[in-house]
């Protein structure tokens, strides 16, 4: 199938900018959210860019304001590499919840933020990046990001993934009127006009089912609006939601009830603001022999061994089997219990146990995040000390070289003076009386 007009324009513009398209598989693991308002009974995590949307199931809010999920979301995305970095590509993280008024209640958005996921993409395997994202107007989201480069995957040629940033931007309305291609902003680039071709005489033939949308950020004056037939909202919603759900989120339910603000997620600099010299001194002066402690782990890594990352027992196969067995036993006990009051009491006990397990999981995840921060700080301290050592060695070599040259010049001068004295003595000896 020949590339669409939008794909040709997109590729041409990115090539003129010197960018290379690379396909990545992005996986988000939303662990939990904290600071959920008290009027929210259940909450869901949404991952959105333009019309492309993925979300988790609704999970209950604990008494201390936490919501835990045990799901992961995946999608493929095209990132454009510019030198050693990738062009910015922001996604929206949202929290939607219900107040528990009824089965027909529509979820409302009570917190959100925007984050650049291109900053976590790399052509080398980097593992899971643990993030703590500040939400607007309040709350925090703990999420893991895994970006895997699909080396042998080519970008899609004929889908609205390529047209989304051209026709579905915030300032570019859809169009159903047939006419010429809108080449506003490309007057100074004749190559793009040649690639765009002559004005279209017929409708753009789009596929019946879309693989999904994918957008890349452009300046407002760079948006292009090709003429494409409008799809009904029901068709878009049915094709965009990968997961089959009884009550899917509708685009109308995504209306925000909070004002737009600047993204306020934590930056890498803020997360690495630890004192490097103090961290390095702590590493060398600590006499702790605890093999499971963070200092001992970093000491092993400093000497050439990779630090042991604590493995969460919540996701191990053994723990899953144990939980399944315990659940089966509880269900059998409930099925055999004839007394309603005993069943209510047992349900209360199970709810309290679940809350305790969720709190324990939250504490363990906090501990893992703090240990990761300590490892990053100590790694920076190591790099700083290595740079200082290299500078000191360079200065020492320069001083040694200068001293050696001075000694050599002095030796040559002394030799010349000695030769001159010998010549004078020989001249006096052979002078006739």
CA gap 129, 147 in Å, rounded: 9
Q: What is the pLDDT, as a whole number, of residue 257? A: 44
Q: What is the pLDDT, as a whole number, of residue 154? A: 54
Q: How open is the CA angle 242-248-251, to the nearest 5 degrees? A: 95
Q: What is the pLDDT, as a whole number, of residue 338? A: 77
> Looking at the whole model, is its pTM more than 0.85?
no
E runs forming strands in 50-175: 52-55, 59-60, 66-68, 73-82, 85-86, 90-98, 108-116, 129-134, 140-149
Give the pLDDT confidence of 94-113 residue by residue, as tens digits: 999 998 888 788 999 999 99
Give the pLDDT confidence of 280-309 residue by residue, as tens digits: 555 555 554 455 566 666 666 666 555 455
Average pLDDT rounded to a whole number, residues 163-181: 37
Among 204-208, 359-363, 379-383, 399-403, the range scoring the smallest mean pLDDT is 204-208
Name the residue among 252, 244, 246, 242 with its Cα closest to residue 52. Answer: 242
Give the pLDDT confidence of 348-386 residue by residue, as tens digits: 888 888 888 888 998 999 899 889 889 988 988 998 898
Give the count of beta carbons closer than 10 Å to the beta carbon of residue 253.
Answer: 14
Q: Are 296 and 288 in contact (CB under 8 A)?
A: yes
CA gap 233, 352 in Å, rounded: 43
Average pLDDT rounded to a whole number, residues 398-405: 88
Name the 3-class secondary structure at 315: coil
Among 116-125, 267-276, 308-317, 402-411, the range scoring the smallest mean pLDDT is 267-276
Q: Are 147 and 86 in contact (CB under 8 A)?
A: no
Q: Where are the domains of the chain?
A: 5-268, 276-381
Name the residue among 377, 364, 369 with its Cα closest to residue 128. Answer: 369
Q: Domain 5-268: state its class.
A: mainly beta
Cβ neighbors of 155 (< 8 A, separation 6 or more) are: 7, 21, 23, 78, 162
Q: Are 21 and 2 in contact (CB under 8 A)?
A: no
CA gap 38, 53 in Å, rounded: 26
Strands 90-98 and 42-49, by their bridges, are: antiparallel
CA-based R_g, the chain, Å: 33
Cβ neighbors of 346 (< 8 A, separation 6 or more) are: 333, 334, 337
Mean pLDDT for the chain overall: 71
Q: What is the pLDDT, as a whole number, of residue 172? A: 37
Q: What is the pLDDT, as a whole number, of residue 316? A: 56
Q: What is the pLDDT, as a whole number, of residue 429? A: 80
Among 97-111, 114-128, 213-227, 363-377, the range scoring the smallest mean pLDDT is 213-227
DSSP string for residues in 21-78 = EEEEEEEEEEEEEE---TT-SEEEEEEEETTEEEEPPPEEBPTTSEEE----EEEEEE
Cβ neighbors of 415 (< 8 A, separation 6 or more) are: none
340-429 helix and 294-302 helix, angle to the nearest 10 degrees:
40
Q: What b/e string do you get for 351-373 counting C-beta neighbours within 10 Å, with b at 16 or more?
A: eeeeeeebeebbeebeebbebbb
Give me the percent of the chain exceeding a pLDDT of 90.
Answer: 20
Q: Is the pLDDT of residue 218 over 90?
A: no
Q: What is the pLDDT, as a whole number, of residue 249? A: 45
- Residue 248 burial (C-beta neighbours within 10 Å; 0-12, 13-18, 19+): middle
Q: Is the pLDDT of residue 184 over 50?
A: no
Q: What b/e string do you get for 394-431 counting C-beta neighbours within 10 Å, with b at 16 or more?
A: eeeeeeeeeeeeeeeeeeeeeeeeeeeeeeeeeeeeee
Name the residue among 264, 321, 271 with its Cα closest to residue 139. Answer: 264
340-429 helix and 276-285 helix, angle to the nearest 10 degrees:
90
């Amino acid at each position: 199938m020949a590339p669409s007009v939008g794909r040709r324009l997109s590729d041409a513009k990115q090539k003129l900018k010197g960018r290379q398209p690379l396909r990545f598989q992005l996986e988000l693991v939303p662990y939990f959210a904290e600071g959920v308002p008290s009027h929210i009974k259940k909450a869901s995590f949404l991952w959105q860019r333009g019309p492309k949307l993925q979300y988790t199931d609704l999970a209950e809010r604990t008494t201390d304001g936490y919501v835990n999920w045990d799901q992961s979301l995946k999608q493929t995305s095209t990132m454009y590499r510019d030198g050693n970095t990738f062009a910015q590509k922001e996604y929206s993280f949202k929290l939607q919840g219900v107040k528990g008024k009824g089965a027909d209640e529509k979820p409302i958005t009570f917190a959100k933020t925007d984050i650049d996921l291109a900053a976590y993409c790399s052509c080398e395997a980097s593992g899971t990046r643990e993030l703590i994202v500040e939400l607007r107007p309040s709350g925090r989201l703990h999420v893991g990001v895994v970006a895997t480069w699909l080396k042998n995957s080519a970008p899609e040629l004929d889908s609205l993934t390529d047209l989304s940033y051209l026709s579905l931007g915030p300032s570019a309305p859809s169009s159903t009127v047939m006419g010429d291609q809108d080449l506003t902003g490309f007057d100074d680039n004749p190559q793009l006009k040649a690639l765009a071709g002559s004005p279209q005489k017929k409708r753009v033939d789009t596929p019946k089912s879309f693989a999904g949308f994918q957008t890349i950020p452009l300046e407002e004056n760079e948006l292009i609006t090709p003429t494409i037939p409008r799809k009904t909202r029901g068709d878009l919603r049915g094709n965009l939601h990968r997961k089959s759900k009884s009550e899917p989120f509708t685009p109308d339910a995504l209306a925000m009830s909070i004002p737009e603000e600047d993204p306020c997620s934590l930056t890498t600099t803020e997360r690495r603001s630890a004192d490097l010299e103090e961290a390095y001194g702590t590493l060398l002066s600590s006499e702790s022999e605890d093999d499971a402690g963070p200092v001992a782990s970093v000491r092993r890594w400093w000497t050439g061994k990779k630090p042991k990352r604590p493995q969460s027992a919540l996701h191990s196969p053994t723990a899953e089997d144990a939980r399944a067995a315990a659940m089966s036993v509880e269900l059998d006990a409930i099925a055999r219990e004839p007394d309603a009051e005993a069943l209510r009491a047992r349900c209360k006990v199970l709810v309290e146990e679940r809350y305790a397990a969720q709190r324990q999981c939250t504490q363990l995840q906090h501990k893992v995040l703090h240990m990761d921060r300590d490892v990053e700080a100590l790694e920076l301290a190591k790099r700083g000390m290595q740079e200082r050592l290299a500078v000191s060695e360079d200065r020492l070599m320069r001083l040694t070289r200068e001293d050696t040259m001075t000694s050599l010049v002095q030796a040559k001068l002394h030799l010349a003076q000695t030769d001159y004295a010998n010549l004078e003595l020989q001249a006096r000896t052979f002078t006739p009386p």
